[in-house]
């Protein structure tokens, strides 16, 4: 098995990188020739790594060397090759964001966790919500709104009181962010096949940004979101602690 190792800039991750490179030197190769990418860091670095290697369709085995490690395995410098060989694959499809600004510029980006719209100023955002081109909410007033994947449902989505979604459920979370109109709307669970469109109202007075993971577009006018089945991300997890188990366990944390 050929592996390549990447690490975040933290001292902990860099120290682990040196240890692993020395211990497994006979297995280490270039990114292009590697069968598996080993990522050392936290969830933010894992997202960065997955985005980086999307064009190469590489499997990624993460080990926690950061503060948050929901997408990571426990760290150990022992039996790395055997752990990778016995790991379970979790396939993820990212969200595709197509954003148009108030000046007519178009941007595209992929999101593994979520696509979120957020107000840019003290003025609350006013957003129309369409599902499959059907108007569902004429005017949502608040800080913003997001669409989250099952893998991302335990991140920002959960902090905004959105639901935790099981992997393989083929659903997405549509979650408002500090909304006070409609007053009783707490969000929705929609099929992964659904296409979501957000239209920003009164863009000049109430500017809104759109973010796909760590890619941000300012002053958006319209944002379309759908699951991109043409892209498959392959995460590797220890059998005793799969991502699916973590998502289930997250719902029982009090």
Residue ranges of domains in the chain: 3-93+232-250, 95-227
Nearest to 251 by CA among 165, 156, 175: 165
Tell me what pLDDT residue 253 has: 66
Longest dimension (CA), the chain: 60
Tokens 């936290």, located at residue:
42
Tell me what pLDDT residue 188 has: 96
182 preceded by a cis bond (ω within 30 of 0)? yes
184: which DSSP letter?
T
* Rg of the Cα atoms in the chain: 20
CATH for 3-93+232-250? Answer: 3.40.50.10330
pTM listed for this prediction: 0.86
Tell me what pLDDT residue 139 has: 97
Please indicate whether residue 43 is annotated as part of the active site.
yes
> What three-state secondary structure class fits 242?
coil
Cα separation, 52 vs 75, in Å, equals 22
Dihedrals phi, psi of 86, to nearest 5 degrees: -95, 0
Which of 35, 43, 77, 213 is flagged as catalytic? 43
- Best CATH choice for the domain 95-227 from the list 1.10.8.10, 2.40.50.100, 1.20.1250.20, 2.60.200.30: 2.60.200.30
Cα separation, 36 vs 234, in Å, equals 10
What are the pLDDT digits (tens) for 100-117?
999 999 999 999 999 999
248: which DSSP letter?
H
What are the pLDDT digits (tens) for 225-237?
999 999 999 999 9
Local mean pLDDT, 10-residue blocks, the chain (254 residues): 94 96 94 94 91 90 86 93 94 95 97 97 97 97 96 90 88 96 93 97 96 96 97 91 72 67
Tell me what pLDDT residue 242 has: 72
């Amino acid at each position: 098995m050929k592996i390549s190792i990447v690490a975040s800039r933290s001292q902990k991750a860099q120290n682990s990188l040196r240890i692993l490179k020395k211990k497994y030197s006979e297995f280490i190769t270039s990114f292009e020739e590697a069968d598996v990418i080993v990522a050392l860091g936290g969830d933010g670095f894992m997202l960065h790594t997955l985005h980086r290697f999307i064009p190469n369709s590489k499997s990624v085995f993460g080990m926690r060397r950061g503060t948050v490690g929901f997408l990571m395995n426990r760290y150990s410098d022992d039996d790395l090759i055997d752990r990778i060989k016995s790991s379970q694959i979790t396939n993820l499809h990212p969200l595709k964001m197509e954003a148009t600004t108030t000046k007519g510029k178009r941007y595209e980006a992929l999101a593994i966790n979520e696509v979120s719209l957020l107000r840019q100023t003290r003025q609350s955002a006013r957003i129309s919500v369409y599902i499959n081109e059907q108007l569902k909410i004429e005017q949502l007033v608040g800080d913003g709104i997001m669409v989250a994947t099952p893998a991302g449902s335990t991140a920002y989505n959960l902090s905004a009181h959105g639901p935790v979604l099981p992997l393989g459920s083929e659903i997405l979370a549509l979650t408002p962010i500090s909304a006070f109109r409609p007053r009783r709307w707490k969000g929705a669970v929609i099929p992964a096949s659904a296409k979501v469109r957000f239209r920003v109202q009164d863009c000049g007075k109430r500017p809104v940004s759109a973010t796909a993971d760590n890619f941000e577009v300012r002053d958006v006018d319209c944002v379309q979101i759908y699951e991109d089945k043409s892209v498959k991300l392959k995460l590797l997890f220890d059998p005793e602690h799969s991502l699916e188990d973590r998502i289930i366990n997250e719902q029982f944390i009090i």
